[in-house]
């Protein structure tokens, strides 16, 4: 093997390690909550929910701005900075002496993940010929999906030792990738452009945090309390200001031009709602298995595993189905199956443990839906965009995913904040199902999606080379 081929192969490996560990760390902490409660006995469920939400919020707010910073400063530099920060902060999270310290450094870990994500896609695209860059995007998306699917089973295995191992596992992977990446990754050309909107980043993160806090703490504070009313007002005002600023800033944290494409806007709505359902599912299932059925964290992780396996199996043919039947139909089918899994659990699960007859069918049905809908969500969020805007569209969809996940966890934390009895868990499973159905309807409204016509072909030049499907 020539040195260039070796360097290219190592570069791809390093990039995909970064994608994998950042995706895993989004969900892996959920399954460690029972173990964390043993270390922090005074912590409430809503307090523990911030271990996931803090990561998701900073990750979401920084995704698009970090991509612009990577373009200005060099993708290799930003990727390695993000990877180094992510790895170093993982060590601090593993040694956290209190929940407050853990939440603070999880937010910082989200910063590292956000620095890695867009720069990783840019670096990966640079390693493929232009006509093969669709393969690069598919590889990048698939590894992220595998990381998300593997998070719960892997987290259960590690948490059985100690919850701190869910962070320790990042250290050898991140360190090895960092050292190899310094040698193998090539510097990318920098581009001139406006400075990312730092104020917009702060306002968006604070606004989402206020909304999440309002939902998560509303039950314990009282929905009519001054804290809830005040945070609701802060969140609403902040989001309104973010939209207003996005319309005026040259490098906004949210790009109105991307969301002005109807299909892309609907795709992001679908993504946000679906991952709200995923967040609700991820938090409620492990807590049900450990608190209602009394199973160990390891056993709970193994019982959850068939769902991710089914998702992985169905994700590949789903892409083929989407081409043949349209993302709107496949997406609706996937969302409906995922919702059916939640409805099954809500109707069938009771206090008597019965994995094979009661839990497993819902897990497999939901996993099939998860696998079917993922390619449809990715297609709806990007296929209507011209090739040069696909990376930005992917970043926008990732932002919607993180915000949806944080909201889903917050809603379930609020539902289970009192006494996490059987009726509360049934409500959580119905929230999972309802969010998925809204996602499916949003995808169905997208209709058939066609790729934009290539630039320079003369087709649809009056529409910036987009087909009518992209602009309607």
CATH classification at residue 348: 1.20.1250.20
Q: Are residues 331 and 220 in the same domain?
A: no
Asked which of 152, 176, 194 is the last residue of a domain, the reply is 194
Asked if residue 453 lies in contact with residue 341, where contact means CB atoms within 8 angstroms, the answer is no
Q: Are residues 183 and 135 in the same domain?
A: yes
Cα 401 to the center of its chain, rounded Å: 4
Domain assignment present for residue 114? The answer is yes
Domain assignment present for residue 95? The answer is yes
Work out whether the CA dihedral 184, 70, 398, 443 comes out positive or negative. negative
Q: Please give the average pLDDT of every successive group of 10 residues along the chain, which has 472 residues.
A: 81 91 84 87 88 90 82 85 95 95 95 88 81 73 76 84 92 93 81 75 90 86 88 94 89 84 91 95 90 89 88 80 84 96 96 94 95 86 74 81 91 82 93 97 83 45 37 36
User: Token pair for residue 102?
Assistant: 């853990």
Asked which of 248, 277, 310 is the last residue of a domain, the reply is 248
Residue spans of alpha helices (H) in 44-185:
45-73, 75-94, 99-126, 133-161, 165-168, 170-184
Specify the pLDDT at position 146.
77
Q: Are residues 155 and 13 in the same domain?
A: yes
Distances (CA, A) of 321 to 268, 440, 447: 21, 16, 15
Q: Are residues 164 and 262 in the same domain?
A: no
Domain assignment present for residue 272? The answer is yes
Q: Are residues 216 and 329 in the same domain?
A: no
Q: Are residues 306 and 387 in the same domain?
A: yes
Specify the pLDDT at position 458.
41
Q: Are residues 172 and 213 in the same domain?
A: no
Specify the pLDDT at position 455.
46
Phi, psi for residue 400 in degrees, rounded to 5:
-60, -40
Distances (CA, A) of 441 to 330, 339, 370, 399: 11, 12, 15, 20
Q: Which long-range contacts does 2-8 make (Cβ < 8 Å, 24+ apart)?
A: 7/183, 7/184, 7/186, 8/127
Domain assignment present for residue 47? The answer is yes
Q: Are residues 471 and 354 in the same domain?
A: yes
Domain assignment present for residue 437? The answer is yes
Specify the pLDDT at position 234.
94
Specify the pLDDT at position 387.
66
Q: Are residues 202 and 189 in the same domain?
A: no
Asked which of 248, 266, 284 is the last residue of a domain, the reply is 248
Q: Are residues 230 and 297 in the same domain?
A: no
Asked if residue 372 lies in contact with residue 330, where contact means CB atoms within 8 angstroms, the answer is yes
Q: Determine the structural domain holding residue 126 and report its residue range.
A: 1-194
Domain assignment present for residue 438? The answer is yes
Domain assignment present for residue 253? The answer is no
Number of domains in the chain: 3
Specify the pLDDT at position 459.
41
Q: Are residues 421 and 440 in the same domain?
A: yes
Domain assignment present for residue 433? The answer is yes
Which three-class secondary structure state does DSSP give residue 174?
Answer: helix
Specify the pLDDT at position 449.
61
Q: What is the pTM of this model?
A: 0.84
Which three-class secondary structure state does DSSP give residue 216?
Answer: helix
Q: Are residues 364 and 280 in the same domain?
A: yes
């Amino acid at each position: 093997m020539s040195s260039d081929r070796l360097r290219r192969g190592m570069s791809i490996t390093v990039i995909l390690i970064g994608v994998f560990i950042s995706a895993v760390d989004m969900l892996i902490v959920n399954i460690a909550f029972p173990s964390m409660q043993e270390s922090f006995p005074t912590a409430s469920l809503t307090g523990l929910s911030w271990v996931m939400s803090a990561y998701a919020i900073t990750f979401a707010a920084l995704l698009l701005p970090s991509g612009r910073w990577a373009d200005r400063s060099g993708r290799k530099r930003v990727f390695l900075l993000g990877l180094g920060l992510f790895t170093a902060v993982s060590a601090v999270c593993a040694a956290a002496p209190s929940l407050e310290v853990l939440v603070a450094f999880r937010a910082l870990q989200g910063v590292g993940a956000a620095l890695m994500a867009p720069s990783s896609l840019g670096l990966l695209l640079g390693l493929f010929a232009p006509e093969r860059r669709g393969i690069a995007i598919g590889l990048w998306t698939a590894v992220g999906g595998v990381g998300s699917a593997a998070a719960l089973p892997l987290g259960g295995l590690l948490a059985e030792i100690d919850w701190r191992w869910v962070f320790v596992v990042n250290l050898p992977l991140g360190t090895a990738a960092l050292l190899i990446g310094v040698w193998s990754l090539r510097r990318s050309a920098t581009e001139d452009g406006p400075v990312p909107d730092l104020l917009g980043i702060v306002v968006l993160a604070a606004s989402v945090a206020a909304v999440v806090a309002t939902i998560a703490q509303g039950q314990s504070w009282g929905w009519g309390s001054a804290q809830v009313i005040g945070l609701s007002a802060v969140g609403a005002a902040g989001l309104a200001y973010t939209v207003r600023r996005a319309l005026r800033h040259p490098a906004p944290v949210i790009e109105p031009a991307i969301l002005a494409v109807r299909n892309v806007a609907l795709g992001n709505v679908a993504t946000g709602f679906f991952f709200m359902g995923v967040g609700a599912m991820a938090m409620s299932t492990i807590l049900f298995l450990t608190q209602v059925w009394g199973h160990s964290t390891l056993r709970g992780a193994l019982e959850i595993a068939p769902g991710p396996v089914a998702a992985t199996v169905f994700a590949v043919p789903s892409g083929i189905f989407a081409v043949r039947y349209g993302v709107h139909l496949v997406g609706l089918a996937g969302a409906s199956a995922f919702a059916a899994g939640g409805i099954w659990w809500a109707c069938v699960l009771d206090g008597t443990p019965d994995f094979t007859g009661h839990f497993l069918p819902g897990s497999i049905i939901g996993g099939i839906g998860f696998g079917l809908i993922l390619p449809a969500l990715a297609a709806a969020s990007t296929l209507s965009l011209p090739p040069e805007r696909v990376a930005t569209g992917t970043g926008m969809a990732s932002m919607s995913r993180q915000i949806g996940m944080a909201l889903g966890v917050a809603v379930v934390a609020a539902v289970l904040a009192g006494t996490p009895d059987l009726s509360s868990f049934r409500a959580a499973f119905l929230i999972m199902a309802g969010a998925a159905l809204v996602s499916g309807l949003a995808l169905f409204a997208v209709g058939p999606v066609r790729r934009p016509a290539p630039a320079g072909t003369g087709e649809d030049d009056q529409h910036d080379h987009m087909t009518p499907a992209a602009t309607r």
